[in-house]
Structure 1
Amino acid sequence: MNERIAHAGLASRLVSAEQAAALIQPGMAVGMSGFTGAGYPKAVPKALASRIEAARERGEQFAIRILTGASTAPELDGVLARAGGIEFRLPYQSDPELRGRINGGQIEYMDIHLGHVAQHALFGFLGRIDLAIVEVTAILPDGRLVPSTSVGNNKTWLDLADKVIIEVNHRQPRAMEGMHDVYYGTAKPPHRKPIPLAHPGDRIGEPYLKVDLDKVVAVVESDAPDRIGRFAPIDEVSRSIAGHLVEFFRHEIRAGRLGEQLLPLQSGVGNIANAVLAGLHEGGFRGLTAFTEVIQDGMLDLIGNGTIDMASATSFSLSPEGVEEFARNIDLYREKIVLRPQEISNHAELVRRLGVIGMNGMVEADLYGNVNSTHVCGTSIINGIGGSGDFARNGFMSCFLSPSTAKNGAISAFVPMVSHVDHTEHDVAVLVSEQGLADLRGLSPKQRARAIINNCAHPDYRPMLQDYYDRALRDSKGRHTPHLLAEALSWHQRFLETGTMKA
Structure 2
Amino acid sequence: MAERIANASFASKVMSASDAAALVPNGAVIGFSGFTGSGYPKEFPPALAQRMRVARDAGEDFRISAYTGASTAPELDGALAETGGVQLRSPYQSDPSMRKAINAGTTYYSDVHLSFMAGQVAAGFFPKPDFAVIEVSAITADGELVPSSSVGNNRTWLELADKVILEVNSWQSEDLRGMHDIYYPIGALPPNRVPVPITSAGDRIGQATLKVDPAKVVAVIKTSDPDRNTPFKPIDDDSRAIANYLLDFLHYQVKSGLIPKNLLPLQSGVGNIPNAVLDGLLHSDLENLSSYTEVIQDGMIDLIDAGKLTVASATAFSLSPDYAHKMNENAAFYRKHIILRPQDISNNGEVIRRLGVISSNGMIEADMYGNVNSTHVMGTRMMNGIGGSGDFTRSAFISCFVSPSTAKGGKISAIVPMVSHVDHTEHDVHVIITEQGLADLRGLAPRQRAKVIIEKCVHPDYREQLKDYYERACATSTFQQTPHILSEALSWHERFNETGSMLQA
- Find the residue that maps to 2:141 and give its secondary structure: coil
Describe the superposition over 1:374-433 as per-residue Cα deviations: whole angstroms up to 9, x where unpaired: 000000100000000001001111000000001110000000000000000000000000
CA distance in 2 between counterparts of 1:437 and 1:350 reads 27
TM-score normalised to the size of structure 1? Answer: 0.99
Structure-1 residue corresponding to 2:401: 400
Contact 2:71 2:93 in 1 (8 A): yes
CA distance in 2 between counterparts of 1:235 and 1:421 reads 28
1:135 shift after superposition: 0.3
Identity of aligned residues (%): 59
Describe the superposition over 1:251-284 as per-residue Cα deviations: whole angstroms up to 9, x where unpaired: 1111110111110000100000000111112221
CA distance in 1 between counterparts of 2:85 and 2:149 reads 26
CA distance in 2 between counterparts of 1:482 and 1:220 reads 60
- Find the residue that maps to 1:234 and give its secondary structure: coil
1:328 shift after superposition: 3.1
TM-score normalised to the size of structure 2? Answer: 0.99
Structure-1 residue corresponding to 2:334: 333
- One-letter code aligned to 2:141: P
Structure-2 residue corresponding to 1:264: 265
Uncovered stretches (5+) of structure 2, i.e. residues with no partner? none
Structure-2 residue corresponding to 1:102: 102
1:89 shift after superposition: 0.2
Contact 2:168 2:223 in 1 (8 A): yes
CA distance in 2 between counterparts of 1:301 and 1:490 reads 45
1:478 shift after superposition: 1.5
CA distance in 2 between counterparts of 1:170 and 1:488 reads 55
1:426 aligns with 2:427: yes
Structure-1 residue corresponding to 2:380: 379
1:74 aligns with 2:96: no
- One-letter code aligned to 1:8: A
Moved more, 356-365 or 123-132: 123-132
Contact 2:122 2:128 in 1 (8 A): no
CA distance in 2 between counterparts of 1:51 and 1:82 reads 13
- One-letter code aligned to 1:179: M
- Find the residue that maps to 1:89 and give its secondary structure: strand
- Find the residue that maps to 1:427 and give its secondary structure: coil
- Find the residue that maps to 2:10 and give its secondary structure: helix
- Find the residue that maps to 1:136 and give its secondary structure: strand
Describe the superposition over 1:87-131 as per-residue Cα deviations: whole angstroms up to 9, x where unpaired: 100000000000001001110000010010011111111122111
- Find the residue that maps to 1:420 and give its secondary structure: coil
Structure-2 residue corresponding to 1:275: 276
Structure-1 residue corresponding to 2:60: 60
1:195 aligns with 2:223: no
1:30 aligns with 2:33: no
1:189 shift after superposition: 1.5
CA distance in 1 between counterparts of 2:174 and 2:84 reads 35
- One-letter code aligned to 1:474: A
CA distance in 1 between counterparts of 2:295 and 2:221 reads 27
CA distance in 2 between counterparts of 1:260 and 1:408 reads 39
Structure-2 residue corresponding to 1:221: 222
Contact 2:173 2:329 in 1 (8 A): no
CA distance in 2 between counterparts of 1:324 and 1:375 reads 34
1:477 shift after superposition: 2.4
- Find the residue that maps to 1:335 and give its secondary structure: coil
- Find the residue that maps to 1:77 and give its secondary structure: helix
Contact 2:172 2:328 in 1 (8 A): no
CA distance in 2 between counterparts of 1:8 and 1:169 reads 17
1:473 aligns with 2:464: no
1:367 shift after superposition: 0.5
Moved more, 119-128 or 48-57: 119-128
Alignment of 1:54-203 (within 5 A): 54-186=54-186, 187-203=188-204
CA distance in 1 between counterparts of 2:281 and 2:73 reads 31
1:307 shift after superposition: 1.7
- One-letter code aligned to 1:282: H
- One-letter code aligned to 1:85: G
1:344 aligns with 2:321: no
Moved more, 82-91 or 414-423: 82-91
1:133 shift after superposition: 0.3
- One-letter code aligned to 2:231: R
Contact 2:143 2:214 in 1 (8 A): yes
Alignment of 1:283-302 (within 5 A): 283-302=284-303
Describe the superposition over 1:292-321 as per-residue Cα deviations: whole angstroms up to 9, x where unpaired: 000011111111112211000000011111
Describe the superposition over 1:164-185 as per-residue Cα deviations: whole angstroms up to 9, x where unpaired: 0011111111111110000012
Contact 2:30 2:67 in 1 (8 A): yes
- One-letter code aligned to 2:69: G
CA distance in 2 between counterparts of 1:305 and 1:67 reads 37
- One-letter code aligned to 2:493: H
Uncovered stretches (5+) of structure 1, i.e. residues with no partner? none
Describe the superposition over 1:179-205 as per-residue Cα deviations: whole angstroms up to 9, x where unpaired: 000001242222222111111111100
Describe the superposition over 1:215-271 as per-residue Cα deviations: whole angstroms up to 9, x where unpaired: 001111111111111110001100000000000011111111011111000010000
1:209 aligns with 2:223: no
- One-letter code aligned to 1:365: A
| Number of residue pairs matched by the alignment | 503
